[in-house]
Amino acid sequence: MGSNIGKRKSNLNAAYNLIQDDVGAITEASAMYRTEAWGPVAQMAFYNQVVRINTPLSRRNLLKKVLYIEEKMGRIKDNRWGPRIIDIDILYYHDKIINQRHLTLPHPQIPNRKFALVPLCEIAPDFRHPALGMTNDQLLKICTDQMAVRRLGAKP
């Protein structure tokens, strides 16, 4: 999850609670991290967090719920890498490899984004990327992303 508009920490907390209520039990959560924004648009830094969820939802229904939570929180999708009140990505869905029009899993940018890998390694360092065969920890060690990722505090 990420947020760089308004009260970023509160936005992540609200998304956390909505996921817990509407998607499934959060079984583990990383600390929050401050990271510079990706993309061509000048904008505030993001606060990011990764959560592990135990959900009964299919991957398609999970995506629908995540998109609904983003909409409910006021996300407007008008600029691909622009500022956003909340951005919720599905990074993995078990060890499934999915290539569909609206859903690609694992998330194709995991190996390239330190802001995802650092919190992922906090909660699942040994989880093996099903397409690449490497653990999250191994992916982080070879990640070429130079953006700073700064831990904001303890895990919730």
Catalytically active residues are 75, 84, 87, 89
- CA 15, chain centre distance (Å): 11
Query: Residue 102: what residue type?
Result: H
